[in-house]
Amino acid sequence: MTPTDQDRRKASNIDETDIYKASDIDAFINKERRHDELDRLREIKEQKNIWLYTVLFCAVLNIILIGLAIWGAINS
């Protein structure tokens, strides 16, 4: 039976946790030649980017609120 993409993905040697931790996911993408693995790496890259942008946005909201609180404290 021909292995499916899912079978190949299961047999992948790269641990997903390591890819999430890696700072340069493009290095994995440039090295990878299997299309199913590439899809997986691109998916992880997208997940990481969404997480990062959300955290940044949320941090900005927190900073704005803290900034307003400091402004209020100084003025009073």
Partner 1 sequence: MNNQQTLARGWAYAFFSVLVLWGLNNVMIGYSAQVLNANYLVYTCSAFVSCALFLLLVGGKGPLVKETLRSIDTWVFGLIMLIGYMITLSLFSYVTSTEGSLLQRISLLFSVIVSFIFLSRAPTKSQLIGILMVLIGIVIVCRDLPEENRGMIYLLMFLEGMALTARMFLAEIHRPHAHAISMVKDPRAKARVVGFVMFVISTFFLILTGLLALLQTVAPLPIENAIIPTLDSFKHTPSIVAGMIAGVALVAPLRLIEFSSANIIKTENFLAIAALSSAATFFWEWLLSPLTGMSVKAVSTNDILAGVIITVGCMVAALGQMKKQSAKKKWEDDLRYAPQNIPAVEDSREIIANSLEHYSGDIKKVASALDINPSTVNALLDDKDKVLAFKTDVLKNVARLYRRHVSSADALTGLINRAGFMTALKETSDPYALLYIDLDKFKPVNDTYGHDAGDAVLVDVAEKMKRTLPSNALIARLGGDEFCAVVFNINKAKADDYIKQLKLTLSEPLNYNKNEIIIGASIGIAFAPNDGTDPEALLKIADQGMYDEKKNR
| Interacting positions 10-69 with partner 1 (CB under 8 A) | 11, 13, 16-17, 20-21, 44, 46-48, 50-52, 54-55, 58-59, 61-62, 65-66, 68-69
Q: Give the number of other CB atoms < 10 A from CB of residue 31.
A: 10
Residues near partner 1 (CB under 8 A): 11, 13, 16-17, 20-21, 44, 46-48, 50-52, 54-55, 58-59, 61-62, 65-66, 68-73, 75-76
